[in-house]
Amino acid sequence: MVETRTTTITAPHTIRMNALDNVAIVANDGGLAAGTVLASGLVLVDRVPQGHKVALADLPTGAPVLRYGIPIGHAVRAIPAGSWVHERLLAMPDARGLDDLPMATVAPAPQPPLEGYTFEGYRNADGSVGTRNILAITQTVQCVAGVTDFAVQRIKAELLPGFPNVDDVVALEHSYGCGVAIDAPGAEIPIRTLRNISLNPNFGGEVMVVSLGCEKLQPERLMPAGSIPLIDQRNTDSAANALDVVCLQDDAHVGFMSMVESIMRQATGHLTRLNTRQRVTVPASELVVGVQCGGSDAFSGATANPAVGFCTDLLVRAGASVMFSETTEVRDGIDQLTSRASTPEVARAMVREMAWYDAYLQLGKVDRSANTTPGNKQGGLSNIVEKAMGSIVKSGSAPITGVLAPGEKLTQKGLTYAATPASDFICGTLQLAAGMNLHVFTTGRGTPYGLAAVPVIKVATRTDLARRWHDLMDVNAGTIADGTATIEGVGWELFRLMLEVASGRRKTWAEHWKLHNALVLFNPAPVT
């Protein structure tokens, strides 16, 4: 577990992100009262809550309100200097068109390789590396969830103590598998997501499936021949090569206990093999890190996300894989991203994913502005443009070298845009499918988010949150706003913590308390 550092600042303190900005956010706990004199001499006209914006100059009607050096909106009426610039004073700009974007126009200066960093991980037959040693039981359909869960409880109580090298047993429960239009466009997304999660590096290639029997998503469709590398490599015995499926409707089962014992018997074989896995020293390049944010506030883009962005650059320099995601939270910065793509092909793939998501949202008669939550706004984020600018900084400054569609598996190192919804659980689920072995999650409002399959390192944007949630937050990036730490300092702290957590030497708070959110499959296709 990780201790978070906490200090309190008392002098009026505001944070401006870019020299062009005509607003700054208030950093002080509890906000600042009207009449407060800032260091610049500016006097606050209104009370400004913590994380909210203050106008640094008189803004006439229609003037652009600049944060991160870009317009996050236009003033709907004249706003005097020192005023609280809240969401109702801003008209949001339209989304950037996708037709005339700069494609791979910026080549960030190459950064020196970062060598000599290692962690202790589980090397798999397919070359991937796990950070935990977990038996996962895949399910083809929700119908079997109760039976599988019953069996998992017994496996944990009766079998797991005999396999001390195995960390956990996890049922991959989900709501898909039947009652769905399984051949509709888009249905391949939940199917490949589930397939690829079953192959996550933390599960050691030991795939076992529980099926009902009559469901639409048949085991052979979920895990077609050739999809499991370990089965191909283990031996050539055709019986042993068959997919390990326990089918509840099989005639051989008489009574509930027959099903449970069948699952336990099959699990024993997988546990026996998993138990022989040993941690070995591997280079930091074997990390596959998914970054995301949730419960964001105006500090997210000033403290935690920039620190994560600095750490993303460290990981890329170390040769690791890093994914950033959350389509609606990068849509408004698409020109920054396409220009940073390493090639026009990568830029085009990014545009393809944005266009697909625009169309998906249009089906529901909404756009990317449906993203922001009441908590975001309470935390000072006026709209999705401001939120997106703060979210994108998680991606650091390296060239973007890869793009994944939702549910696809990552096959390359470097910085990848893995297209996912911004929904925390759906994003996490899709990053698991991509092969993530470590998750970094920033939050300003606070969320106890965690996953059963990989460690989740949570980074607080504010010292106040880190203090109150001292046994849920792993890193306090609020020290950056307090002036007691730097973005670089917190970025390095996070990098070193990742290697400790990946090695199993430290547990995250979510692991300590066993806080496990559900797998939530992204299914854009109809249900029936």
Binding site residues, Ca ion, CB under 5 A: 292, 294, 422, 424
Q: Determine whether 375 is exposed, middle or buried from the number of CB atoms within 10 Å of its CB (0-12, 13-18, 19+).
A: middle
d(CA 123, CA 336): 36
- Rounded to the nearest whole angstrom, what is the least distance from the CB of residue 418 to Ca ion in the complex? 12
- Secondary structure string (H, E, C) spanning 199-233: CCHHHCCCCEEEECCCCCCCHHHHCCCCCCHHHHH
Q: Which residues pair with residue 400 across a beta bridge?
A: 341, 415
- Rounded to the nearest whole angstrom, what is the least distance from the CB of residue 440 to Ca ion in the complex? 12
CA–CA distance from 231 to each of 46, 226, 270 (Å)? Answer: 66, 8, 12
- Rounded to the nearest whole angstrom, what is the least distance from the CB of residue 17 to Ca ion in the complex? 21
Q: Which is nearer to Ca ion, 28 or 443 (CB)?
A: 443
- Rounded to the nearest whole angstrom, what is the least distance from the CB of residue 329 to Ca ion in the complex? 7
Q: Which is nearer to Ca ion, 294 or 402 (CB)?
A: 294
- Rounded to the nearest whole angstrom, what is the least distance from the CB of residue 93 to Ca ion in the complex? 22
Q: Where are the beta strands (DSSP E) in 248-312?
A: 280-283, 288-293
- Rounded to the nearest whole angstrom, what is the least distance from the CB of residue 439 to Ca ion in the complex? 11
Q: Which is nearer to Ca ion, 12 or 380 (CB)?
A: 380
Q: Determine whether 232 is exposed, middle or buried from the number of CB atoms within 10 Å of its CB (0-12, 13-18, 19+).
A: middle
- Rounded to the nearest whole angstrom, what is the least distance from the CB of residue 296 to Ca ion in the complex? 8
- Rounded to the nearest whole angstrom, what is the least distance from the CB of residue 292 to Ca ion in the complex? 5
Q: Which is nearer to Ca ion, 391 or 463 (CB)?
A: 391
292 contacts 431 by C-beta, under 8 angstroms: yes
If one counts every other C-beta atom within 10 angstroms of the C-beta of residue 287, the result is 26
Which tokens is 133 given?
A: 């040693």
Q: Which is nearer to Ca ion, 28 or 325 (CB)?
A: 325
Q: How far is CA 177 from the centre of its chain?
A: 24
Q: Which is nearer to Ca ion, 117 or 449 (CB)?
A: 449
Find the helix or strand (DSSP H, E) in which 306 lies.
Answer: helix 304-317
- Rounded to the nearest whole angstrom, what is the least distance from the CB of residue 428 to Ca ion in the complex? 8
- Rounded to the nearest whole angstrom, what is the least distance from the CB of residue 444 to Ca ion in the complex? 12
Q: Which is nearer to Ca ion, 28 or 292 (CB)?
A: 292
Q: Which is nearer to Ca ion, 14 or 372 (CB)?
A: 372
Q: Which is nearer to Ca ion, 46 or 329 (CB)?
A: 329
Which parts of 444-514 fold into alpha helices (H)?
463-468, 478-482, 487-502, 509-513
d(CA 368, CA 479): 31
Q: Which is nearer to Ca ion, 197 or 263 (CB)?
A: 197
Q: Report the Cα–Cα distance between both ends of the chain, in Å, rounded.
A: 45
Per the listing, tokens 């008189």 go with: 58
Residue type, 72: I
Phi-psi region of 330 (alpha: psi -120 to 50; beta: other; left: phi over 0): alpha
Phi-psi region of 75 (alpha: psi -120 to 50; beta: other; left: phi over 0): beta
Sorted by sequence, the CB contacts under 8 Å of residue 330 that are 6+ apart come out as: 324, 337, 388, 391, 392, 417
Q: Which is nearer to Ca ion, 394 or 413 (CB)?
A: 394
The vertex-398 CA angle with 392 and 399, nearest 5°, equals: 95
- Rounded to the nearest whole angstrom, what is the least distance from the CB of residue 461 to Ca ion in the complex? 14
If one counts every other C-beta atom within 10 angstroms of the C-beta of residue 241, the result is 13
Residues in the chain: 528
d(CA 298, CA 27): 10
- Rounded to the nearest whole angstrom, what is the least distance from the CB of residue 443 to Ca ion in the complex? 9
Could you say which DSSP state residue 43 is in?
Answer: B
Q: Which is nearer to Ca ion, 272 or 517 (CB)?
A: 517
